[in-house]
Amino acid sequence: MSSTYNNSESTALLSSGSSCSRRSRLASCSRGVWAVTAIATLATLAVIAMAWAMLATNDLNGGGGDKGDRRLNSTSVGRFIHITDLHVDPNYKDGATAYSQCHRVPKTSDHSDDSSLTGRFGRPNAKCDSPVALINTTSAYLRRQWSQKVDFVAWTGDSGRHDGDAEFPRTLDEIIEQNAIAAQSLRHAFGSHIPIVPNVGNNDVSPHNELPGPGHKRARRTFRQLAHAWGGLVPDDQLATFHYGGYFARDLADYPQGGGGLTALSVNTMYWYRANAKVGGCKAKDSPGLAQLAWIRWQIRRARERGRDLVILGHVAPNQDNYRPSCYHGYMRTVAQIVPPPGPHSPPIIHAQLFGHSNVDAWAFVGPDADWASPTNNTASDSRLWWERQVDEEEGRFGELIHGVWSEEEQSMRSETTVPDERDWATMEDDSPPVRPAVPGDFVETLLREYERVIMQTPRHPRLGVTTISPSVIPKLLPAFRVFHYLRHTDSAWRHLPPGTLLDYDVYTANLYSHNKKAPPVDGFYQRLYRFSDVYGINDLSVDSYVRWARRLLTSKSMRKRFRALTFLDM
C-alpha cells in the first residue's frame, strides 16, 4: 500500500507508568504543520488491517535472519533503544471525533459512523496526540521485554502535546507536567540502573517553536523546569551547562575490553532550527548556535583525551530545510570531525546521530559540502575555517564559557553559575531567507536525491556521517521505536570494526487497527516489523555500508519501493 506524506513535523513514542489523572486541561495537535491531513476511510482501514495480517507470514518479520541473530546475540554486542516524540495528551478521549483532535465525543444524533471515531490506544492518520492508555501500555511493554536487555535509552524530545485546539490552549506548566509524565514512564520501564538521555524538542517549549537564547528569563525558566521534570536524568555536573543552553553530556557505557566507552551529547536543536524566530544563525560571534558548536568541538577534544567515542542525539534532524544555513554547515563540519587531532591521540568516532521530529523511519548522510564563509585563511598546517579557529581558542568568549559554564571541574568549586545577561536575541544577525509556507513534497524522493548528490560529490566519502530518524510512538502513522545493536568489543565476527560501531537495528510497531478492537497481552503489544539487515542485506551500519547500500537503492526499483513502504511503516 502507499502513503502520502508531507514532511513538516514529527511526533513520537514514550511510555508512562504511574498516575495519569491531570488537573490541567490538555489539547493535542500541531498548528497546521502535521503532514497527513486526510482521515482514513473504512476501506483504507480494511486494507491496512489486511496488510498487517500478511506480516505474520512475511519475511520482514525476521525471516531469513538466523545467521544475523546468531551474530547479534554474541556477548560482544550491546543494545540500546531510541524512542522519540511522545506528545502525551491526557485530554484524549476514546470515541471522540478525529476532527476535534480526539478531544470531544459527538452527540449520537450528530454522528453515527463509528469508523471515524477514535479508539482506546490512539487514531492513526489523524491530528491527535497520544492517549494515556498508549503511554501506559508502552511503558509496561518496555519494562517486561527490554528492561534487562539494553544498555541505555535515547529519548529525543517532544513529550509536550501539540497546541492545535483553541478550546485548550497549551501552557508551559502543562508542557513541564507532560515531560514529567514521560520521564516517570521511562523510569518505570527501565529503572534507575539504565542511563536515559533526554532531549529538548520544539514542542517542549512555549510557545511552540520559540526558544530565546541563553540568559533570557524564559530560556532559564524552561531549562530549569525541564531538568526538574526529568528527575535527575541530567547529571549533576552537567546542570550548569543545561541551565545555560539546554544541552549536556552523559557517559553511557564503557567498553569491557581496552578501556574507553560511549558518551552521549544531547544537543539543543532549537538554537539551529529555522522555525525558531527568537535566535538568528551561527554567524554572529555571540550567537547561541555558534556557542553550541563550540561546546560540541570542546566535547570532541575531551572525548579524545578520555579515549571515548560519541553518540549525538537531538530532536530536529540536520538538513537544509530544518537548519539555518550557517548552522547547518557548521554542524556538518563539526560532526565530520574536521578538527586537527592534537598530539598522538586519534580522533574520537561519532558512532551515531539520533534524531526524531519527522515521524518517519529514515536516515540521511551528513558531511561537509560547503565552506560556510570566506576568507578561510587556511594554512598548510591548519585547515580550519575562521569560526573554527575562534571557537577552539581558550581565550575570549568561548574560553569563558568553557571555564565558567561548561567545565564540570569548575562547577565543583561553586554552587551557582553566572550566565550572560538577557539580551534581545531577535536582533542578532540572521542568515536565513524569510520562512515560506511549506510546500508538500515527496519525502522519499527528496531523500533519494540527497543520497545521489552525496555519492556523486563524495565518491570516496572521506568524511561522511549518517543521521538516523526514528519513527514515533504517537499514532500519526503507527506507534513505533527502534532497537539498535552496537559493538561493545571486537571478536571474530566483527574484527574489522571498532567498538561502538552500530551493527543493525530492529523496528517495532503496534498495530492499533487491531489493538483498538481487542487489546492484546502487554507482551505482544509491539511486534518487530523488520530488521534492517534482513530487508536490505547490509552487514553493519558503518558509513561504508550505508554508502554501498545507497548505491544499490538508487539502481533498484524494487528496493526503492520497499524503502518507501518501510519509511511510512505501511507494509
Contact predicate 104/485, CB 8 Å: no
CATH number at residue 100: 3.60.21.10
pTM, two decimal places: 0.83
Residues whose CB is less than 8 angstroms from the CB of residue 173 and which lie 6 or more positions away in sequence, other chains included: 24
* 244 in a structural domain: yes
Output the pLDDT for position 206.
Answer: 94
Residue with cell 528569563: 217
> Is residue 11 situated within a structural domain?
no
Distances (CA, A) of 348 to 345, 439, 503: 9, 39, 18
Q: Kindly state the DSSP code that residue 117 receives in the 8-state scheme.
A: B
Distance of CA 498 to the CA centre of its chain: 24
- Give the tens place of pLDDT for each residue, 254-279: 998 777 899 999 999 999 999 999 99
Q: Which residues, including other chains, have CB under 8 Å from residue 239's CB and lie 6 or more apart?
A: 227, 248, 411
Confidence of residue 391 (pLDDT cuts 50, 70, 90): confident
CA nearest to 508, candidates 526, 486, 522: 526
Q: Which residue has the cell 540536520?
A: 318
For the cut 60, the answer to whether the pLDDT of residue 227 exceeds it is yes
What cell does 443 get?
519525502
Specify the amino acid at residue 203. Answer: N
Number of domains in the chain: 1
- Asked whether residue 15 is assigned to any structural domain, the reply reads no
> In sequence order, which residues have a C-beta less than 8 Å from that of residue 474 and are 6 or more positions away?
11, 12, 13, 85, 86, 87, 122, 129, 130, 359
User: What residues make up the domain containing 493?
Assistant: 42-567
Query: Quick one: angle between helices 132-146 and 172-190, nearest 10?
Result: 30
Cα separation, 208 vs 512, whole angstroms: 28
Cell 510497531 belongs to which residue? 509
Cβ neighbors of 381 (< 8 A, separation 6 or more) are none
- Interval 287-316: pLDDT, tens: 899 999 999 999 998 998 888 999 999 999
- Looking at the chain, the number of H-run helices and the number of E-run strands are 16, 12
pLDDT at 219 over 90: yes
Alpha carbon distance 451, 559 (integer Å): 14
Q: Is residue 21 part of a domain?
A: no
Residue 338 burial (CB < 10 Å; 0-12/13-18/19+)?
middle
In-domain check, residue 27: no
As a whole number, mean pLDDT of residues 207-223 equals 93
Residue 533 in domain = yes
Q: Looking at 287-407, which runs of residues are DSSP E strands?
A: 309-313, 350-355, 362-366
Q: Tell whether the model's pLDDT for residue 337 goes beyond 50.
A: yes
Mean pLDDT for 419-423 is 50
Whether 34 maps to a domain, the answer reads: no
Among the residue ranges 63-67, 106-110, 484-488, 549-553, the one predicted with the least confidence is 63-67
Q: Which residues make Cβ contacts (< 8 Å) with residue 205, sequence separation at least 6? A: 172, 175, 211, 222, 270
For residue 525, pLDDT over 60 is answered with: yes
In this prediction, what percent of the chain has a pLDDT beyond 70? 74
- Which residues are 253's β-sheet partners? 262
Question: Where does the pLDDT of residue 202 fall: very low under 50, low under 70, confident under 90, or very high at 90 and above?
Answer: very high
Nearest to 141 by CA among 181, 192, 185: 185
**Distance between CA atoms of 59 and 79, rounded to whole angstroms?**
23
Give domain status of residue 190, yes or no. yes
CB 569 within 8 A of CB 480: yes
Closest CA to 316 of 268, 351, 278, 366: 268
